[in-house]
């Protein structure tokens, strides 16, 4: 199996709770990935769990993938992965629901989340391979530079258009549209962000273009040379912010 991303991006994806045997049928880590894990955390006997595992293509069925049938739906269902205990970007989400009542956010990854907002639903801690992504329309992620590549890969595999809540979005690394910040949630201008979301989902043509670009990107990420390009871009952006 090819390793899609370099170690410095990979290691932040694992929460130190319970270690799964790489030889087990329930393991989400390949042997090579386990070795990378050990290089970061050491050869420890402590146990940890992969609560946010890379989803292998063989684990996915048709029901896990979004079908983009959202042009005429009553609401826009957004999946929000929030294993980060700080839940960065959550305040932006609350403001977006006030601006656009059609947006509904389903938060995965938090046990206790006190929300007084009918458009924000806490789904609790659920492994990614158990989430039915076909129920959702957009993938919203509280961006962190270290895990950006991993989350991008997940959204691609689930066939969901990703939007990001921090400075760096898809447009900063890859040219998806003519607009640099096309898939970035701008916390300083939520009206503009809302317009972008509506624009993407209301236009069959634009949605098709984005889907095509995402597929193109997914294919590129399986090329080892392109990984080096990706990492270089990521480091350059990191310095600029």
* Contact yes or no for 37/7 (Cβ under 8 A): no
- Dihedral sign, Cα of residue 15, residue 54, residue 80, residue 110: negative
| 208 token code pair | 């098709």
Positive or negative CA dihedral for 37, 79, 64, 149? negative
Q: What is the model's pLDDT at position 71?
A: 47
Percent of the chain with pLDDT over 90: 0
Q: How far is CA 223 from the centre of its chain?
A: 20
Confidence of residue 237 (pLDDT cuts 50, 70, 90): low
Share of the chain above pLDDT 70, in %: 28
pLDDT at 52: 34
Note the pLDDT tens digit of each residue in 106-158: 888 766 677 788 898 888 877 666 777 777 877 776 555 445 555 555 666 66
Look at residue 61 in the predicted model and tell me its pLDDT. 40
Q: For 78-87, 152-161, 165-174, which range has the lowest pLDDT when averaged over its residues?
A: 165-174
Least confident of 125-129, 175-179, 219-223: 175-179
- The mean pLDDT value for 62-72 works out to 46
Confidence band for 19, pLDDT divided at 50, 70 and 90: very low
Domains, the chain, ranges and CATH? 7-54 (no CATH), 62-240 (3.40.50.2000)
Give residue 75's pLDDT.
82
DSSP for 111-142, please give it: S------TTEEEEES--GGGS-GGG-SEEEE-
Residues contacting 70, CB < 8 A, separation 6+: 76, 77, 137, 201
């Amino acid at each position: 199996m090819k390793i899609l991303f370099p170690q410095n991006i990979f290691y932040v994806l694992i929460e130190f709770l319970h270690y799964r045997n790489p030889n087990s049928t329930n393991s989400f880590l390949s042997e090579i990935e386990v070795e990378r894990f050990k290089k970061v955390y050491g050869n420890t006997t402590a146990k940890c769990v992969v609560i946010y595992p890379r989803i292998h293509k063989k684990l996915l069925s048709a029901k896990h993938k979004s079908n983009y049938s959202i042009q005429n739906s009553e609401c826009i269902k957004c999946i929000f992965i929030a294993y980060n205990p700080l839940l960065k970007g959550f305040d932006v989400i609350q403001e977006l629901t006030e601006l656009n009542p059609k947006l509904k956010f389903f938060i995965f990854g938090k046990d206790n989340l006190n929300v007084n907002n009918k458009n924000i639903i806490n789904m609790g801690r659920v492994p990614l391979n158990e989430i039915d992504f076909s129920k959702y329309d957009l993938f919203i992620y509280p961006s962190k530079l270290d895990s950006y590549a991993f989350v991008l890969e997940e959204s691609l595999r689930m066939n969901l258009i990703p939007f990001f809540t921090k400075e760096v979005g898809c447009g900063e690394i890859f040219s998806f549209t003519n607009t640099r910040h096309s898939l970035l949630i701008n916390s300083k201008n939520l009206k503009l962000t809302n317009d972008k979301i509506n624009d993407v989902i209301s236009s069959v043509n634009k949605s098709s273009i984005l889907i095509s670009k995402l597929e193109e990107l997914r294919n590129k990420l399986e090329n080892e040379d392109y990984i080096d390009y990706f990492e270089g871009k990521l480091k350059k952006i990191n310095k600029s912010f």
